[in-house]
Amino acid sequence: MADKTQVTEDGKGQTTEVGSLTVTDNRTGSSYDIKIKEGTVRAMDFRQIKVDEDDFGLMTYDPGFSNTAHCRSAISYIDGEQGVLEYRGISIEQLAEHSSYLEVAFLLIYGHLPTQAELDSWLYQITHHTFVHENIKEFMNGFRHDANPMGMLLASVGALSTFYPEAMDIDDEYQWHVATIRLIAKMPTLAAFAYRHSLGLPYVYPDNELSYAGNFLSMLFKMAEHKYEPDPRIERALDVLFILHAEHEQNCSTAAVRTVGSALPDPFTAVAGGIAGLYGPLHGGANIAVVKMLQRIGSTENILDFLEGVKNGNERLMGFGHRVYKNYDPRAKIIQKHIDELLEATGKQNPLLDIGRELEKRALDDEYFTDRRLYPNVDFYSGVIYEALDIPTDMFTVMFAVPRTSGWMAQWMEWMNDPELKIARPRQVYTGARDVDYVPVEKR
């Protein structure tokens, strides 16, 4: 008879669901009670299950960690079935409607919405850390003219750790907060420098009179004018995009930050690991892959043929599907609300948008996709917005990395405070040869 789930109050008034499994090893007939807590069983509790004393014991095997929790976290909550995303319990819809990116960054990192005094201090600190050491410009100039901006960002953030060696003092929480401010403040500067380098344009220094998004637009696009004046509609749309991209629990890049961070380097190095994790087309690079996919489709007439290609495995519908969302990604819905207003602000029409909307409609009318619970994710429409902002395709993933820095730092800080923090060192199932003798080259 399975144990009924009990709910117990721990000392802090937290309720945790507990229970147990009783498993029988049919190889030996032995039974074991495995504790259930918060909907999980501890992998180490299976090591006791052996066939004899020499047996190492059972491990769990979970490539891609599809069903493995590697931490406990209170930062963001996703209900993939219902298409729910909350930051510190507040819905993404409310935050996109009422908040700002820097206020959301504070919420993610410090766990509560800031008072006015806290917000004023936070904005002041971020604004006054946007400059980077002049040597970074020399560093940037060393890249090829056509260097991928994501590669430049990855290298530059890693290099930041050499400019702030005090950040290696992991036991000093003051250094955590200084590094957090420096990273959130300097990511737009580094991203803009990478963009300007790719165009052979002079770097634009931060303008402390502008908002976070406005300053980023200025560093990207300011030319000969005395002062860059961002269009408020574009500024707001970018700030909302930053809110939507700020945090998303244990995705590939955040898991990379925690994995690198578990060896206790400085946080700049851990975030550089996150940038590396975000780079690929299955994760942060998907927004680039979506635009290239829509360009390849070329017109709405070609959509059905493309979808047939997806079904027979020759294509992948980029911007669709998600490890957690088995419903519509709520962020994709919010982005769509801003697209029409943004295109009006830029006075542009984007033919890729028409193809994207028709492609979404056809896919969601097709059982192949709905049976696999493949719906648009955050990357499906974000590229269309970046295109409308005249941001080049190879900058799209950089546009993802900038706001995700606050989520990475929130997760890193939570991990450094976690009593179960330990170095990440997964096991393997060894499938190779054993006890092979060395053969001299003349006998091979």
Q: Which residues lie near ligand SDX (CB under 6 A)?
A: 248, 251, 282-283, 286, 310, 316-323, 372, 374, 377-379
Instruction: State the DSSP H helix or E strand holding residue 26, giving kind and residue range, or none if neither.
Output: none
Q: How far is the CB of 378 from ligand SDX (least distance, A)?
A: 5
Handedness of CA 112, 117, 122, 127 (dihedral sign): positive
Q: How far is the CB of 313 from ligand SDX (least distance, A)?
A: 8
Shorter beta-carbon distance to ligand SDX: residue 239 or 247: 247
Q: How far is the CB of 310 from ligand SDX (least distance, A)?
A: 5
Instruction: State the DSSP H helix or E strand holding residue 176, giving kind and residue range, or none if neither.
Output: helix 173-199
Q: How far is the CB of 366 from ligand SDX (least distance, A)?
A: 11
Shorter beta-carbon distance to ligand SDX: residue 50 or 316: 316
Residue type present at position 402: V
Shorter beta-carbon distance to ligand SDX: residue 88 or 248: 248
Q: Give, as one character, the DSSP assignment of residue 50.
A: -
The C-alpha atoms of residue 165 and residue 163 are separated, in whole angstroms, by 6
Q: How far is the CB of 330 from ligand SDX (least distance, A)?
A: 11
Q: Which residue has the tokens 């993939």?
A: 80
Of the candidates 239, 322, 329, 338, the residue annotated as catalytic is 322
Shorter beta-carbon distance to ligand SDX: residue 230 or 403: 403
Q: How far is the CB of 113 from ligand SDX (least distance, A)?
A: 22
The C-alpha atoms of residue 375 and residue 409 are separated, in whole angstroms, by 29
Residue 217 near residue 228 (C-beta atoms within 8 A): yes
Copy the structure tokens of residue 150. 């994501």
DSSP-derived 3-state class of residue 36: strand
DSSP-derived 3-state class of residue 56: coil
> Torsions phi, psi of 19, nearest 5?
175, -160
Q: How far is the CB of 158 from ligand SDX (least distance, A)?
A: 21
Of the candidates 283, 354, 366, 418, the residue annotated as catalytic is 283
- Give the CB-nearest residue to ligand SDX: 321
In this structure, the number of other CB atoms found within 10 A of the CB of residue 422 comes to 8
Copy the structure tokens of residue 201. 């344009």
Shorter beta-carbon distance to ligand SDX: residue 359 or 388: 359
Q: How far is the CB of 15 from ligand SDX (least distance, A)?
A: 27
The C-alpha atoms of residue 185 and residue 335 are separated, in whole angstroms, by 24
Shorter beta-carbon distance to ligand SDX: residue 63 or 165: 63
322 part of the active site: yes
Q: Give, as one character, the DSSP assignment of residue 46.
A: G
Shorter beta-carbon distance to ligand SDX: residue 177 or 316: 316
DSSP-derived 3-state class of residue 16: strand
Of the candidates 239, 266, 329, 379, the residue annotated as catalytic is 379
Q: How far is CA 168 from the centre of its chain?
A: 24
The residue among 386, 399, 403, 395 whose CA lies nearest residue 343 is: 386
Shorter beta-carbon distance to ligand SDX: residue 102 or 246: 246
Measured between alpha carbons, how far is residue 333 from residues 126, 197, 358, 388 in Å? 30, 34, 15, 18
The C-alpha atoms of residue 136 and residue 426 are separated, in whole angstroms, by 36
**What is the per-residue DSSP string for 201-262?**
PPP----TTS-HHHHHHHHHH--SSSS----HHHHHHHHHHHHHTS--SS-HHHHHHHHHHT
Q: Which residues are marked as active site?
A: 283, 322, 379
